[in-house]
Chain A
Amino acid sequence: MLNKDTIFRLFVALVAGICGYLFFGTWYPWHFAVREQAQLLMLTPGTILSYMQEPAWLACYLGDYLTQFFFHPRLGICLLVVVLLLTWWVGARLLRRVVDYAHIELYALFPLAAEMVMLGRIDYPLSMPFVLLLSLLFAGICLRIRQPAISVVVGILVLPLVYGLAGYGVYLFLLTVIAVELARSELRLSYWLVLAAEAVVVPLSLGDYFQLEGREVFCYPAVERVWLFPALTWLVVIVMLTLVPRRRFYMNWREQAAVWSLSFLLLVGGLAITTDFHREKMLAIGAAYDRGEWEEVARLAEDFEEPDLVATYYRNLALFRDGQLPERLFDYPQPYGGRALLLPMDTLDFPDTFAPCEAYFALGDWNMARYTARRAMEVCPKSQSIRGVKRLAEIYQEASDSLAMHKYLTILERTWFYADWARKQEVKQDTTEVVNVLLGLRDPSDARETLFRLVEFQPERREVIDFVLCYCLLERDLASFVEAYRRWGTAHYSEPPRIYAEALLLQMPPESGRRKQRRRVEKLPFGITETQMKAFLNYRTAARLAGHRREALEAAYGTTYWFYDEFRDEK
């Protein structure tokens, strides 16, 4: 039979675990999934050796090891929750050494809540929970030793080890040991002073070796100060409890409720500050695009109250991949012009930097695709990314470059979740290498030139022609549109799709008078139909009657190119 204390602990763990899983697993999974995409962890001895070149190597390695499981977001969340609960349990055991409250476990919820709050930030690495866990574990091991002489020797020997394994956790270790010994009334001032001196000297002396400067030496791997929040929360809790007179008592339900409420408030209030649901939605769209769920991309893009550049871009690309670009392009607001088809890299921050590569990859522009893939990798935390490596393998596969492809596949074969995929890949025999070479000499900032060259070397791909035509339309570059349509579009369309016809009609010189208009209808170029011409004339009449007011025309003509051309809101 479980006693009351055990049942209580299990209850607290269950509540904390369910809260964590529900929040991160249900409402916030993509922030963790993108971490997995933005790192590359190979399961080789060399990888572990490279981690050992830095302080806090075990925390960093375990953090990255855990991150790879977010390949399956829910599995990753489960494991993360287990790590958090383990930290909570170790913390509760240590707090029990400070004061013997019956429900002391509740106080250990504070650092747990602080850790969950920080996990809402996309830049907070998963190594940080391990710093807390490892430092508390080592403190617990040292405090278990009852013989004073042995505990002194162990403490002095373990402290440098803690720095090597958990970085700034060395201070958590030190202060926890002191706090617990204070609470036990074991005043060993000289021992504490030696530990404190060691905690300063060890990082300083290793700073040069690890190439860390200034504050970094003491805070590594906490690059940002705010990342220290969970550690500080732990210190506040343990110091506060150390100062409480040592006596045994039970918390009544009011006190329990107060601690529950405070930790819940800390969690909710903190998450309100650190989480970014706008970005979460963006990441969800990116993930849906990655899975090839085009309808889902369109559905998720509609969730935004205001049009968003990256969301619009993904939706346009999904339409392109689905072969519906000309049919549905203006079914949605397009306030970003051509950028919503060819996303510029310079204005983007991580993790949106992965997005621009998708368009070039879909178009078959291997040069720009691998360039943008590498650029995206460069802004990842360690300038490495499994998504980038996989994309590069795919690019070289499509470009029939077997040597380069094998380079990336070899890397992927050494990872846990991509090895099977990598082993199944084969080189595609293709002629795209010709395109690859010929597209080379150009100014990459000149999108029109890039796209025109791309079509020039693969005029048989109608979807690429559509992409170029739609790009011209979004840029309101009708001269280029007509040129591209004349050169390549006419070979694929006997009758232009609606928006093409609308753009072509705009380019025709205005004529007035019924006879002239009739003559014009008889001579319509590019296979434009009489119905399309009549619709255009109707639009012009309606616009004139409405005084070219947007509100009056939006309902009837909101999805036409004429409306876009006249009323596009530039962003």
Chain B
Amino acid sequence: MNGIRSKIVLFIGMMVCLWACKGSDGDKQVDALPPMYPDYPNVTLPVNIAPLNFLLRTSTERVEVRLRGKSGESTFIGSNGKIQFPEKEWHALLQRECGGKIEVSVRAQQGDEWLRYKAFTWQIVPEQLDTYIVYRQISPEGENRHVELCEREVGNFHERKIMQEETDGVMPHLSVNTLYNMTDARSNNVVALWMPERAMTTSSDCLWEYFGTQSRLCAINRENGQSRILADTLSGQTVRAFPALSADGRSLYYSEAPAAVRDSLDAWCFSIYHRKFNSQNLTWADAVDTVYYSDTVKVSAVELSLSPDGQYLLFATTTYGLPSSGHRDSDLRLLHLDSGRLDSLEIVNTEAAEGQPSWTSDSHWFVFMSKKGDGLYGKPYFCYVDSAGVAHKPFMLPQRDPARYDYMLESLENPMMVSRPMKSDAFRKTNKIINENTEP
């Protein structure tokens, strides 16, 4: 009896094995990367990133993803073309594979057929992102009467609104920058990029309402409330904007352009300058270094971000004018300050707008806004810069539902990394300090 039973068990076992083998052997090989959204093939990931959930842009029923690394192999199954990795398993995997590569192979079922796409890799690096990302949620082309400031943990999908405000056409004064400095103080001084008119643009591709020349650079000491206007161009011939203060508070980079003239707005270009800065008495030196001269390259350099270690200056370039978000042709540039080498970041830039860069505290990652995909809505991307100063392929902030970006009607702009959660009243408090200290 036992013999018969064991033979039946053996037979069933063999049938199962045969069925399992048939499943993978019968796959149709596709000599292309999977049509996945977001674009995650061959990206470099920090060890503390949330699961890279994705979907396949084909009429797929089931998806099978095999992740193979030095510690072994894991398989994940998804339905309706979507893969959502369990958070615990994902983080354990990244920890195990830290410093190495994960090979990702994707199989997708279409009807009765299984397609096996070309495998790709994820490189896991030990350098972490700061714990939180803060961004503005705004309408991409309206007047931004409704603005939300959100904070998201990069290690999971928890998002909260720090502030939501009905504005009167004017955006909060670079609230994210201000909050950033409030909570993640790398220097004792807050540099407020305070440009009341900056955000009054209607943000459509070419419609531009910024015809004034009003901007001013201010330095404020947060602790004693002392302030000083560094460059007041309310009635002058020059516009200065986008200050970037070094971590030691001794160098100030900023963009400067002649006052805009409406008829020649399309030739209105910003250059980048540098001055020595004294953070004790809030003064800057008279001597000016030209870092990037727009007249020679015929592009406008805006939205500066200086890495905390002082090695790199990131900025956006557009054909003319101010913020990058309204220009489809805006791209990022990375300037190596020690060698003067300018990296055109071909691996980062696309046909859509890229801009609003910001560094993490360890200077190995930067986050930026890209409108890749639909060309209209900003999404945060993370890019790794290795010790040799080489930028790796960036990846989009992952979402629990990978289709979320498809359905969003808000643009996620001005992304910034912070290491501690924001206090809900930080925005109002900081804005109050700025307003009190910078009234004409």
| A interface residues, Cβ below 8 angstroms from B | 40, 42, 44-47, 211, 367-368, 370-371, 374-375, 377-379, 383-384, 389, 401, 403-404, 406-407, 410-411, 414, 436-437, 439-444
Contacts and interface: CB of A to CB of B under 8 A. Distances in A.
28 contacts: A44-B401, A44-B403, A44-B407, A46-B403, A46-B404, A46-B407, A367-B204, A370-B141, A374-B140, A374-B142, A375-B142, A375-B143, A378-B146, A383-B146, A384-B409, A401-B375, A404-B374, A404-B376, A407-B376, A407-B406, A411-B407, A414-B407, A437-B205, A439-B206, A440-B204, A440-B207, A441-B266, A444-B209
Contacts of A403: 373-375
Nearest to B320: A441
B96 interface: no
A374 B139 contact: yes
Contact of A371 (B141, B146, B403): B141
Contacts of B375: 401, 403-404
Closest 8 CB pairs of A and B: A440-B206, A374-B142, A407-B374, A378-B142, A374-B141, A46-B401, A383-B146, A378-B145
Interface in B113-147: 139-146
Contacts of A436: 205
B277 to A, nearest CB: 36
B206 A411 contact: no
A411 B409 contact: yes
Contacts of A414: 407
Nearest to A47: B407
A262 B373 CA distance: 60
Given A367-B204, A411-B407, A441-B206, A406 B374 contact: yes
Contacts of B207: 367-368, 371, 440, 442, 444
Contacts of B435: none
B425 to A, nearest CB: 12
Interface string B394-428: 00000001011011010000000000000000000
B185 interface: no
B142 A371 contact: yes
Given A404-B376, A406-B374, A441-B265, A367 B142 contact: no
Nearest to A406: B374
B98 to A, nearest CB: 31
A40 B204 contact: no
B377 interface: yes
A384 B404 CA distance: 16
Contacts of A383: 139, 146, 409
A546 to B, nearest CB: 48
Interface residues of B, number: 32
Contacts of B403: 44, 46
Nearest to B410: A383
A319 B280 CA distance: 69
Given A44-B403, A441-B206, 18 more contacts: A44-B401, A45-B401, A46-B407, A371-B142, A371-B204, A374-B142, A375-B142, A378-B139, A378-B142, A378-B144, A384-B409, A404-B375, A407-B374, A407-B376, A436-B205, A440-B204, A441-B265, A444-B202
A125 to B, nearest CB: 17
Interface string B192-213: 0000000000101111110100
A407 B377 contact: yes
Nearest to A374: B142
A379 B409 contact: no
Looking at B161, B164, B403, B407, which has the most chain A CB atoms within 10 Å of its CB? B407
A368 B161 CA distance: 31
A439 B204 CA distance: 12
A374 B375 CA distance: 16
A45 B79 CA distance: 14
A442 B262 CA distance: 9
Contacts of A46: 401, 403-404, 407
A377 B407 contact: no
Contacts of B206: 367, 437, 439-441
A17 B195 CA distance: 58
Contacts of B409: 40, 377, 383-384, 389, 411
Contacts of A374: 139-142
Contacts of B145: 378-379
Contacts of A442: 207
A384 B137 CA distance: 13
A367 B375 CA distance: 15
A521 B83 CA distance: 80
Nearest to B399: A46
B70 to A, nearest CB: 35
Contacts of A40: 409
Contacts of A407: 373-374, 376-377, 406
Given A46-B401, A383-B139, A437-B205, A211 B374 contact: no
B45 to A, nearest CB: 24
Interface string B359-378: 00000000000000111110
Contacts of B205: 367, 436-437, 440
Interface string B233-275: 0000000000000000000000000000010011000000000
A440 B409 CA distance: 23
B208 A441 contact: yes
A470 B337 CA distance: 59
A414 B143 CA distance: 27
* Most-contacted residue by chain B among A371, A379, A406, A407 (CB, 10 A): A407
Contacts of B209: 443-444
A371 B202 CA distance: 7
Nearest to B351: A403
Contacts of A444: 202, 207, 209
A64 to B, nearest CB: 15
Contacts of A211: 161, 164
A356 to B, nearest CB: 13
